[in-house]
Structure 1
Amino acid sequence: MSQSVTTAIVDDRPMWPAMKKGYLRRCPHCGEGALFDGYLKVNTACSECGEEFYHHRADDGPAYLTIVLVGKILGPLLYVAFTKYRPDPVMLSVLFSVAAVAMSLYFLPRLKGALIGVQWSRRMHGFGRVSAR
């Protein structure tokens, strides 16, 4: 009779905490250092733990996610506002245009940080290399 050996895969980089740290614009590894050097420019490395960020590949993902999220929030609100309150079309377009720009500016860096957190947790695009910390 042979024993079956099961090996547990240790997830030393859980995705959800890394996404949360990235959403908060912090290092997905330690959660202390700043992820960004400005509005959208990613630091080359964490100032606290030394984790390297220069090889991330966020590209157009955060912009796409921002468009989808803002559209999913403002689309139904626009419908309700137009059908229930019947405001002046110019006022409605100005109000929702300002809301769309403000929400996009708020969500874009946060979603970029969350996407970098996912890449870090899944060891994508060079995040799997062992760095000198």
Structure 2
Amino acid sequence: MSVSPFGAGLRCKCPACGRGALFRGFLSVVPECAVCGQDLRAHEEGDGPAVFAILLLGAIVVGLALLAEVHFRPPLWLHAALWTPLTLGGAVALLRPLKATLIALQFRHRREDYDAAG
């Protein structure tokens, strides 16, 4: 059975079977899948999830802030009150699925790293 890396990543599931939980806690990856037993210690996503979250959120928040400024001209305190929680909440919401997707893509394209770790 072939598991889509994007499907497994968005659901934060094991990249091998697509069923087991990938995380224990917020961003701690489990050492192995509880369902299929796949060793998951070989992941090396580094700063990738944070970079993608920053780029994606930056484009969305800056675009929305510019639209709000052009159409409504809100005071600066309202900009801060709107965009700060949106940015922080968006970053927290995006980190897990982005990290899981990068792990699943690495599993798909660098499978030998996972096989050697086990």
TM-score, normalised to structure 2's length?
0.91
2:98 aligned to 111, 116, 119, which one? 111
Q: Which residue of 1 aligns with 2:7?
A: 20
Cα distance in 1 for partners of 2:2, 2:46 equals 22
Structure 2 residue matching 1:126: 3-state secondary structure = helix
More helix per residue: 2
1:46-89 CA-partner distances (Å, limit 9, x unpaired): 00001111110011011101100101111111100011111121
Evaluate the alpha carbon distance shift between residue 125 and residue 68 of structure 1 in structure 2; reply closer, same or farther with a 3 A threshold. farther
Q: SS at the partner of 2:114?
A: coil
Cα distance change, pair 103–130 in 1 and its aligned pair in 2 (3 A): closer
Alignment partner of 1:80 out of 55, 67, 76: 67
Match of 1:58 among 38, 42, 45: 45
Pairwise CA distance, 1:128: 4.2
Shift of 1:102: 0.4
For residues 3-26 of structure 1, give each alpha carbon's deviation from its aligned partner in whole angstroms, at most 9, with x where no partner exists: xxxxxxxxx867xx1222022110
- Whichever residue aligns with residue 118 of structure 1, its letter is L
Report the equivalent of 2:20.
33
**Identity value in percent:** 31
- Structure 2, unpaired ranges of 5+: none
Gaps of at least 5 residues in structure 1 are: 1-11
